[in-house]
Amino acid sequence: MKNTILVGIDSSTSSATALAWAIAEAVLRGSRLKLVTVVTPELISDPRIEVTFLDAATTVLRDAEATAVAAGLEVEISAVRGQPAGTLVELSRTALFVVVGTTGLGGFAGRLMGSVSSTLAAHAHCPTVVVPADQTAPMYPERAGGIVVAVEPGILNEAVWAGAEMATVHGLPLTLLAVRADTLGGARWLPDAYTDDPYPAEVDSLMEKMVDAVASEFPAVSLQQRVLVGNPAHLLVQATDTADLMILGTRGHSGLAGLLWGSVSQNVLQHSRTTTMVVPAHATTN
């Protein structure tokens, strides 16, 4: 059973927030941490400077390690030379989660939310957790949204089961949220057309079956389903205002096209106001 939480570390505030989330999760689960920072070789022309960068990275890691050890955790640290995204993707093969912040400095060279987190979300072998830099606590106990999973009606993918597991571990309610664009075939769909449109009834039936399936496996979880109509990206980002955790899934395709709803999920990752988890279709826990 995988029990290591992998964390991308650098000297940024965002990285510190990601570390705080990972520590809280590891304490709750009895997991160990692997803290990694990556020095990008293309940015360094002088080997002596590379050594300096690696030394500086190790100092940052030691500080992060001390914080995690103080929380009673078993910790491994590693400062490596390579590409941040590729390194973390490869290391994710043996991780329970890989956790990063929304922005990064130093070895992560600029906006972690740009290429690194997007690549992780698309290619990681375990769930990717992206923590906003301004998040003040690992979870928001005062929020009403709990765990929210963006779903496609009738599809019980790995994201749904990850959401149920997170809800169980944290004792939070779980919402399965489906969004429907308000245009079909170029014609605007009107809410008052429900009586003439069989699609809403079909969606409700599929969602109810999903709720029943999850409830049968996780009977202790407080569970509900919602179907919203409008701009999918806007509605999902709006849902992050009250959610402790937003979970997205992937379709299992390769590359960035594998992200749920493509540009929609990228929009959510970039604008989410809570921690976001992206669960690959091929995620494994063993």
Q: Quick one: pLDDT at residue 193?
A: 47
pTM of the model as a whole? 0.85
Q: Quick one: pLDDT at residue 43?
A: 54
Task: Output the tens digit of pLDDT for each of the chain's 286 residues.
Answer: 789 999 999 878 888 889 999 999 999 999 999 999 987 765 555 555 555 667 777 888 999 999 999 999 999 999 888 888 889 999 999 999 999 987 654 444 333 344 677 778 878 999 999 998 777 666 665 677 899 999 999 999 999 999 999 999 999 999 999 988 776 544 444 455 445 555 678 888 999 999 999 999 999 999 999 999 888 889 999 999 999 999 998 764 433 333 444 677 778 888 888 999 999 887 544 4
Q: Quick one: pLDDT at residue 62?
A: 94
SS3 content of the chain, % helix, strand, coil (to 5): 45, 25, 30
Q: Quick one: pLDDT at residue 42?
A: 56
State residue 8 phi and psi, 5-degree precision: -80, 120
Query: What per-residue string of b and e applies to 250-274 under the rule 16 or more CB within 10 Å gives b?
Result: beeeeebebbbbeebbbbbbbbbbb
Q: Give pLDDT tens digits for 226-242.
A: 999 888 889 999 999 99
Average pLDDT over the chain, rounded to whole? 81
Q: Give pLDDT tens digits for 110-167.
A: 333 446 777 788 789 999 999 987 776 666 656 778 999 999 999 999 999 999 999 9
Q: Are 134 and 240 in contact, with CB atoms under 8 Å apart?
A: no
CA distances from residue 206 to 89, 153, 182, 212, 227 in whole angstroms, order as listed: 34, 6, 19, 10, 11
The whole-angstrom separation of Cα 284 and Cα 53 is 34
Please list the residues that pair with 279 across neighbouring strands: 249
Q: Quick one: pLDDT at residue 126?
A: 95
Six-digit token string for 220: 């202790």
Nearest of 94, 82, 8, 90 to residue 40 by alpha carbon: 82
Nearest of 96, 234, 227 to residue 166 by alpha carbon: 96
Q: Are 235 and 180 in contact, with CB atoms under 8 Å apart?
A: no
**DSSP assignments along 138-155, one per residue:** SS-TT-S-EEEEE--TT-
